[in-house]
Homo-oligomer: A and B are copies of this chain.
């Protein structure tokens, strides 16, 4: 039962696989990317469909997330995500700064974008709500890493592959440490085109009432629109929004 080779772990893996397709998916497509034998995968799919976690379209022979998962989703969203509480603050910040605003949480060393707001159609980042990103080369990721307890941070850094997405990306934990120290000092993190070429951001951690960091919020833009120095001038507004969100968060509500 425990671990990825338990029955529960395997079922969740299948669930993830269907969800990751982002569209209805046929059995053979799932089989191609699966580590399970045909009969085993088939049985897991039948089981998840029977439980309502997946839905099966008999006409097109495709699988997709089911309404029981949608229902669970909602409960999870409301009680384990910053997004419901932070939404008005994220909206307000986006209105003021006229750039993309991201809200993220961390999960086993990876950043999960849980909300994103922008008020213009001119520009966008790759960040999509619900998506996972590395923590070592995103503003929100570094803002969170800097304020994690030492041991948790070490574990989180171990899980990073330090893929050099751009010439500016950190290549190792050792390279990153001095910057994390600086982030702790200033309470502000920057993404200097480290994750996406041409994309910069400024981020602040969300830390309720001297407790541990629960997430981070960032303002992201392109180098063609703004400079890093211009982003710096938005730091006070950003910190204030992060504080407001932190004030509303009840720390016991969130996982980590």
Residues of chain A touching chain B, judged by Cβ–Cβ distance below 8 Å, are 1-4, 6-9, 11-12, 15-16, 19-20, 22-24, 43-44, 46-48, 50-57, 60, 62, 64-81, 105, 107-108, 112, 114, 129-130, 132, 252-256
Contacts and interface: CB of A to CB of B under 8 A. Distances in A.
Contacts of A112: 67, 70-71
Contacts of A107: 52, 66-68, 71
Nearest to A108: B52
Contacts of A47: 1-2, 6, 8-9
A134 to B, nearest CB: 15
Copies of the protein in its oligomer = 2
A79 B60 CA distance: 16
Contacts of A76: 19, 65-66, 69-70, 73
A54 B256 CA distance: 10
Contacts of A62: 252
A11 B14 CA distance: 14
A9 to B, nearest CB: 6
Contacts of A56: 255
A2 B7 CA distance: 12
A103 to B, nearest CB: 12
Nearest to A18: B75
Contacts of A75: 19-20, 22, 65, 130
15 contacts: A6-B47, A7-B11, A19-B72, A20-B75, A22-B78, A52-B108, A55-B255, A55-B256, A56-B255, A64-B253, A65-B80, A67-B105, A70-B77, A70-B81, A77-B130
